[in-house]
Amino acid sequence: MFADIIVDISHEKLDRVFAYRIPDGMLDSVQIGSMVDIPFGNGNRVTTGYVVDIKETVDFDESRIKDIIGLTSKTIPINSTLINMAWFIRNTYGSTMNQALKTVIPVKYQVNQKLDRKIKLIADETTVNEKLEVYGRKRAVAKIRLLETVVSVNEIDYTYAMKVLKISSDVIKSLEKEQIIKVEENIAYRNPISIKQKDLGQAIELNEKQREIADKIKNSLGGTPKNAHLIHGVTGSGKTEVYLDVIDEVIKKGQQVIVLIPEIALTYQTVKRFYNRFGDTVSIINSRMSAGERYDQFERAKKGLVNIMIGPRSAIFTPFSNLGLIIIDEEHEASYKSEQIPKYHARETAIYRASLSNATVVLGSATPSVESYFKALSGEYVLHELEYRAKSSKMATVHIVDLREELEKGNRGIFSDKLNELILDRLSKKEQIMLFINRRGYGGFVSCRKCGEAMKCPHCDVGLTFHKADDSLKCHYCGYTIKKPEKCPKCSSKYIAAFGTGTQKVEDFVKKQYPMAKVLRMDMDTTSKKNAHQDILESFADMEADILVGTQMIVKGHDFPNVTLVGVIAADLSLYGNDYRASERTFQLLTQAVGRAGRGEKDGEAVVQTYSPDNYAIVSSANQNYKEFYEQEIMYRKLMDYPPAGNIMAILITDENQEILDNASNKLKEIIEKQQKNTNLCYNDMKCIGPVDASVSKINDLYRKVIYIKSSNENKIIDIKNYLEDVIKLDEELKNVAVQFDFNPMNGY
């Protein structure tokens, strides 16, 4: 028997399978998905590889084929479904097969399992009494102490016996040998969920519209689902209740469920609602967990000990054997698109996985991505609408404040008069406030007011951001950090300061302006430690703070009934970004932000501060009117052939030598244009733009160029990507620069 193996080396030249012989003694242990040690190359260097196929014959001389050495120690075999997904990701998004395989295996190596050891009494009462007499004569005090303790409770913890009762392992083994006790060992799975169980099994009564949507989705289960379901529901409309109802049906069928959430910050409240309903059948996976916790959750999933896995995009690779449902909450989120190679999108990957497992996909959002809503209107997805809040609470009243008018009135502070007035009102009523700004740190950039010199990262083409906590300047791209200089390094002026507004600056201003208020801040800096997200959210939910200041992680999915005011400090920060999705992203952020207010019994208000009060994204979000925004945005996308009206492939070329980069980029453009002229391949509608400098032209000492390919036909773009990958492998000039492909990118370059 022979195995086709992908070598565990991410190099374009090796992006193919190599055949190896499976020794007779390993036929039972080597399977598709196994990770094996193999001799590779002329020197037979031992490396690892993934078995992707097993067959009886090969198409060339068998005498040249080397033997597999053995299974790689402590690795976890992956199932064929995940290998199939790796092929899909590699073909669609561009990478080596090895990179794709590593992507679909979030947990690759075994971790030493924790054991729960119990000492149990197995002898009858007569035998115990006889033994106690014997031990008494022999003065075996340790045996007497252990036996008397076990007799009183029938079972004790092994660690308790050794540490508290001071019993040695030799004493325990001696009693085992005498068949007085036995030691039982069970795997103690690490449980990352620290939620007290409440109201287990109690379902919330759905309203008429929720019931209608849930029943339609449930009626599509178990067949051959061809369409994903998109639930477009306003903030607070009860999408999660619909998810729970459908999940209940899937679990009753003996199937399993994956629930994707966009960020780790959402885990606490999301998991609490699922855990209260389904108990220990729920687990989570995320990057902040220890290796042992992640390994245990995947083992529990493989063994059927959990039925629901919740997590960010990597949870789509949970090794469930009988998957019935995939839910993607807040499906519009950019974090569902990987920024690392391969740059896959969890939504399309989930739909592909569902097709392999005959499972159903449900997407949900108050602000669906333009792509998903476009597909729903065209019939590719099934559209469901929840137009009203589930608890009949009113949508927040939104005030748009023109910051230009504030400036004319002489208000140069961070808060407008309207926002200041409403903050004071809420504090007096003991109601809570959320203040949102889409930038962490203390300010934007730091520069000298005398000569204009800006403090920039020496490795990246960006300004450094001021962080007041440690008086430092940091690069948010590569992590470069220096102390804030007291004098300008160019002209020695002492007039050097931060410009712009960040979360730290807002927090400081709030504490100074409202000294009676308790304030929490939630951003990348305050949530870097394990469980920091959960601790901050629990504190705010428990009314330990009046005001929560934060970046976009505070406005997504959280439900705090006592929050009656949301302030958006600077709506324009995301509006004028460097990519075509800037208006969509701004609309989504603002809609999610104002949707946090008034989710309980009290009415909510929101203040949106902006220099562009007439922009359609801002006006539509203030009106909580998605369709109004969509109609404007889709016209723009169709006019410019942007997704979903067209497709874009961004090709990022990087190198540490600018001249080599320029030559390689120009050559790549020539190859694309030559291929376009090949009329047999019908690439006439394809447009090639660039090469141009990326918006950040240098990161980590690497210069960056970008080429864009646009076409209405998705398959043609994938074909040209595959063609370019083949050319790059053979071309001496191109194979020495780094080339990345990004299909329908979520962020600008």
Higher pLDDT: 266 or 375? It is 375
pLDDT recorded at residue 571: 82
Average pLDDT over residues 483-498: 84
Higher pLDDT: 349 or 596? It is 349
Calculate helix-pair angle for 239-252, 208-219, nearest 10 degrees.
40
The values of phi and psi at residue 471, to 5°, are 55, 50
Between the alpha carbon of residue 528 and those of residues 216, 305, 466, 533, 561, the distances in Å are 41, 31, 18, 9, 27
Contacts of 298 (CB under 8 A, 6+ apart): 76, 106, 107, 285, 318, 319
pLDDT recorded at residue 500: 60
pLDDT recorded at residue 164: 84
What the block records as the tokens of 652 is: 């990022």
pTM (predicted TM-score): 0.79
Which residue's entry shows tokens 């990957």?
349
Task: Name which of 219-228, 264-273, 340-349, 590-599 the model is least confident about.
Answer: 264-273
Question: In degrees, to the nearest 5, what angle opens at C-alpha 269 toward C-alphas 328 and 289?
Answer: 80
* DSSP H or E segment with residue 533: helix 532-541
In terms of Cα–Cα distance, which of 348, 326, 372 is closest to 230? 372
Q: pLDDT of 656-702, one tens digit each?
A: 999 999 999 999 999 988 887 775 555 667 888 889 888 788 888 89
Higher pLDDT: 497 or 567? It is 567
Residue 123 has pLDDT above 80, yes or no: yes
Task: Name which of 52-61, 251-260, 471-480, 609-618 the model is least confident about.
Answer: 471-480
Dist CA 678 CA 688 (whole Å): 14
**Percent with pLDDT over 70 in the chain:** 89
Out of 48-57, 422-431, 441-450, 455-464, the most confident range is 422-431
Dist CA 144 CA 534 (whole Å): 47
**pLDDT band at residue 111 using 50, 70 and 90 as cut-offs:** low
Calculate helix-pair angle for 239-252, 267-278, nearest 10 degrees.
40
Domains and CATH numbers, the chain: 2-103 (3.40.1440.60), 115-187 (no CATH), 208-386 (3.40.50.300), 397-443+500-638 (3.40.50.300), 647-743 (3.30.70.600)
Task: Count Cβ atoms within 10 A of the Cβ of residue 344 and give its class: 0-12 exposed, 13-18 middle, 19 or more buried.
Answer: buried
Average pLDDT over residues 450-465: 76
Question: In degrees, to the nearest 5, what angle opens at C-alpha 462 toward C-alphas 460 and 466?
Answer: 115
pLDDT recorded at residue 305: 87
Task: Name which of 229-233, 246-250, 640-644 the model is least confident about.
Answer: 640-644
Q: Return the SS3 of 685.
A: coil
Question: In degrees, to the nearest 5, what angle opens at C-alpha 678 toward C-alphas 677 and 680?
Answer: 140
Task: Name which of 181-195, 252-266, 414-428, 705-719 the model is least confident about.
Answer: 181-195
pLDDT recorded at residue 109: 59
Higher pLDDT: 384 or 58? It is 384
The alpha carbon of residue 104 and the mean position of all alpha carbons in its chain are separated, in whole angstroms, by: 14
pLDDT recorded at residue 244: 94
Dist CA 588 CA 550 (whole Å): 16
Task: Name which of 329-338, 541-550, 558-567 the model is least confident about.
Answer: 558-567
pLDDT recorded at residue 522: 87
pLDDT recorded at residue 202: 62
**pLDDT band at residue 739 using 50, 70 and 90 as cut-offs:** very high
Running DSSP on this structure, what letter comes out for residue 170?
H
The alpha carbon of residue 654 and the mean position of all alpha carbons in its chain are separated, in whole angstroms, by: 26
pLDDT recorded at residue 268: 64
Question: Are 590 and 568 spatial neighbours (Cβ–Cβ below 8 Å)?
Answer: yes
In terms of Cα–Cα distance, which of 343, 455, 337, 456 is closest to 698? 456
What the block records as the tokens of 689 is: 């733009």
In terms of Cα–Cα distance, which of 595, 227, 207 is closest to 383? 227
Q: pLDDT of 64-91, one tens digit each?
A: 889 999 888 776 667 778 888 888 998 8
